[in-house]
Amino acid sequence: MFSECANPVCRAQFDYHEGAFFRFHSSVQSDGRPANTHSVRHLWLCGRCSKVYYLEHAQDRGIVLRSSAHAFDHASQSMFICVA
């Protein structure tokens, strides 16, 4: 589970009344074995961050934070969040 915003610059405390939830399936475990089919990672962006960012799984990088203004521009700047 999570207790704060997934944006490492923000880190607002979790408030279930606002923001956006994201769910990503894990593809591999930390030891390199395929993940269990029930391996899911949940992340949350606070209300302020969810208005300007979204989370996306990038095959070669893991979960990244992207600007909503560049939603269709995959060359836009992004920030690594975590390995999916």
What's the CA gap between 48 and 64, in Å, rounded? 17
pTM recorded for the entire structure: 0.69
Question: What average pLDDT is seen over the chain?
Answer: 78
**pLDDT, mean of residues 21-35:** 69
Task: Give pLDDT tens digits for 29-62.
Answer: 556 565 555 678 899 999 999 999 999 988 777 8
What's the CA gap between 70 and 38, in Å, rounded? 31
Q: How confident is the model at residue 84 (pLDDT cuts 50, 70, 90)?
A: very low
What's the CA gap between 10 and 7, in Å, rounded? 5
Beta bridge partners of 54: 66
